[in-house]
């Protein structure tokens, strides 16, 4: 543990600031100079094929016709939606959340939460790397010092954490590690839970891709954290790979509900009417599980096929979500853009890149897998 503290300290101060500036420049170049790498359709991108939602989208469009689009609409006006989310998590987690705050996507909710911490006078926050670059940006804008509790990321063999011993701390983490498709282990979550009880510390979980375990296991491990001290972000639009509607929600401690909701309202304002309709259908679909099960099964099948054919390779064994962190062993078009470890402050895996297993461009890899794969999405 001494080595962890020493290396973590080495990553503080000027080194961390330079790293965050570098991360931001990578994503800025990708967005503005490289057209999101073919508008997000590239192998490392975020656009996804999903033929399993035709009936779902039809229902959303039909219900949208019932909405008065002339009015301002807010998620928190829909009390039934909040209760629907609460009941959903009581079933999924066998633990009722204290409060629910719905919002137009993950980014706005996370930024509102960081803004709220700043307003409370929080000057320092600890985190398990990696966290998304926009959160680093928010910390920087608000002069919140962000200190890693490990020099390694959770899927690395050497990973261990050194949590602060003082009380009233705040820990930020992402689960699963989205770009590598790896969920936190039960042992790590239990360590955090015990520390939280001992110190009374806040834990913030960016869990946008939770409930997408390849083996379908439940309950979600971070649900064991104290709901009176834990914020958990969940994003049904990401879980369903339907990105044209904006909907995510925070499971919030009751004591923070009003203040965080007011902060969010001042940042994001009202929501698109169609996204409110989408929200109710999306929570029901995630609860039913049919769409997400088909998507993760497809992702797992493609991953196994590509690995068996040596099209990709990695020492990391993914178990969640749609993204993996691998070396690609086949030729791609000249100057093809890929997102490597630098985008995630990860420098221990040279040549590894993020691969979206549901990418519209996945045939660039599947065509090398031989007759065992016909390339179809079913």
Domain containing 169: what range? 68-287
168 confidence band (pLDDT: 50, 70, 90): low
Banded pLDDT at 37 (limits 50, 70, 90): confident
Closest CA to 347 of 91, 130, 93, 56: 130
Nearest in space to 75 (alpha carbons), one of 39, 51, 105, 50 = 105
Question: Of 265, 282, 232, nearest to 103 (Cα)?
Answer: 265
User: Has residue 258 been placed in a domain?
Assistant: yes
176 backbone dihedrals φ, ψ, rounded to 5°? -75, 170
CATH of the domain at 165: 3.40.640.10
Instruction: Reply yes or no on whether the pLDDT at 1 is more than 50.
Output: no
Residue 206 lies in a domain: yes
% of the chain beyond a pLDDT of 70: 93
Looking at every residue in the chain, the average pLDDT score rounds to 90
Q: Is the pLDDT of residue 370 over 50?
A: yes
Average pLDDT of the segment spanning 244-260: 96
Label residues 343-353 b or e (16+ Cβ within 10 Å = b).
bbbbeebeebb
Confidence of residue 74 (pLDDT cuts 50, 70, 90): confident
pTM of the prediction?
A: 0.91
Q: What is the pLDDT of residue 373?
A: 62
Per residue in 314-331, pLDDT tens?
A: 989 999 999 999 999 999
Least-confidence region, from 88-97, 226-235, 245-254, 334-343: 88-97
pLDDT digits 0-9 by tens, 98-153: 999 999 999 999 999 999 999 999 999 999 999 988 899 999 999 999 999 999 99
User: Strand 312-313 to strand 124-127: parallel, antiparallel, or no bridges (unpaired)?
Assistant: unpaired
**Would you say residue 211 has pLDDT above 80?**
yes
The pLDDT of residue 327 is 98
Q: State which of 19-28, 70-79, 95-104 shows the largest mean pLDDT.
A: 95-104
Q: How many structural domains is the chain composed of?
A: 1
Find the range with the poorest average confidence among 63-67, 243-247, 262-266, 362-366. Answer: 63-67
Residues 361, 341: Cα–Cα separation, whole Å: 20
pLDDT beyond 80 at 2: no
Residue 10: pLDDT band (50, 70, 90) is very low
Is residue 177 situated within a structural domain? yes
Least confident piece of the model among 91-95, 225-229, 241-245 = 91-95
285/240 Cα distance (integer angstroms)? 8
Return the minimum-mean-pLDDT range out of 50-54, 92-96, 116-120, 144-148: 92-96
- The pLDDT confidence band at residue 14, using thresholds 50, 70 and 90, is low
Return d(Cα 327, Cα 311) in angstroms, integer: 8
Mean pLDDT of 254-263: 96
Tell me whether residue 5 is in a domain: no
Which residues neighbour 125 within 8 Å (Cβ) at sequence distance 6 or greater? 117, 139, 144, 145, 146, 147, 169, 170, 171, 172
Q: What pLDDT score does 8 carry?
A: 44
Q: Is residue 1 part of a domain?
A: no
Structure confidence by residue, pLDDT tens digits, 217-242: 888 999 999 999 999 999 999 999 99
Dmax (CA) of the chain = 61
Give residue 53's pLDDT: 94
Categorize the per-residue pLDDT at 95 as very low, low, confident or very high, splitting at 50, 70 and 90. confident
- 334 domain residue, yes or no: no
Tell me whether residue 125 is in a domain.
yes
214 found inside a domain: yes
Does residue 17 have a pLDDT over 70? no
Q: Which residues pair with 173 in a beta bridge?
A: 205
């Amino acid at each position: 543990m001494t080595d962890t503290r020493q290396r973590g300290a080495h990553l503080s101060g000027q080194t961390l600031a330079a790293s965050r500036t570098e991360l931001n420049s990578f994503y800025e170049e990708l967005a503005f100079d490289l057209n999101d790498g073919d508008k997000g359709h590239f192998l490392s991108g975020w656009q996804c094929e999903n033929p399993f939602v035709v009936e779902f989208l039809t229902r959303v469009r039909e219900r949208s016709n019932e909405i008065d689009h002339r009015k301002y609409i807010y998620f928190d006006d829909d009390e039934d939606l909040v209760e629907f989310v609460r009941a959903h998590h009581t079933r999924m987690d066998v633990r009722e959340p204290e409060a629910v705050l719905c919002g137009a996507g993950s980014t706005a909710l996370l930024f509102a939460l960081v803004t709220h911490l700043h307003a409370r006078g929080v000057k320092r926050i600890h985190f398990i790397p990696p966290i998304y670059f926009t959160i680093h940006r928010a910390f920087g804008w608000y002069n919140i010092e962000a200190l890693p509790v490990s020099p390694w990321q959770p899927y690395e063999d050497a990973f261990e954490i050194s949590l602060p011993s003082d009380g009233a701390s705040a820990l930020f983490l992402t689960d699963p590690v989205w770009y590598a498709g790896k969920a936190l282990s039960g042992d790590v979550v239990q360590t955090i839970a015990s520390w939280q009880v001992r110190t009374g510390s806040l834990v913030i979980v960016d869990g946008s891709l939770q409930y997408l375990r390849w083996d379908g296991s439940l309950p979600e491990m971070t649900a064991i954290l104290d709901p009176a001290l834990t914020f958990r972000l969940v994003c049904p639009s990401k879980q369903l790979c339907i990105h044209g509607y904006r909907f995510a929600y925070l499971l919030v401690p009751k004591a923070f509900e009003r203040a965080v909701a007011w902060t969010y309202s001042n940042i994001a304002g009202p929501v698109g009417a169609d996204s409110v309709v989408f929200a109710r259908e999306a929570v029901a679909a995630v609860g039913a599980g049919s769409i997400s099960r088909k998507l993760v099964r497809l992702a797992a099948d493609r991953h196994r096929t590509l690995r068996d054919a040596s099209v990709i390779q990695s020492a990391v064994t993914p178990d969640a979500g749609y993204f993996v962190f691998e070396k690609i062993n086949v030729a791609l078009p000249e100057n093809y853009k890929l997102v490597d470890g630098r985008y995630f402050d990860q420098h221990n895996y040279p040549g590894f890149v993020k691969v979206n297993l549901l990418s519209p461009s996945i045939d660039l890899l599947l065509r090398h897998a031989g007759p065992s794969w016909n390339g179809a999405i079913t």
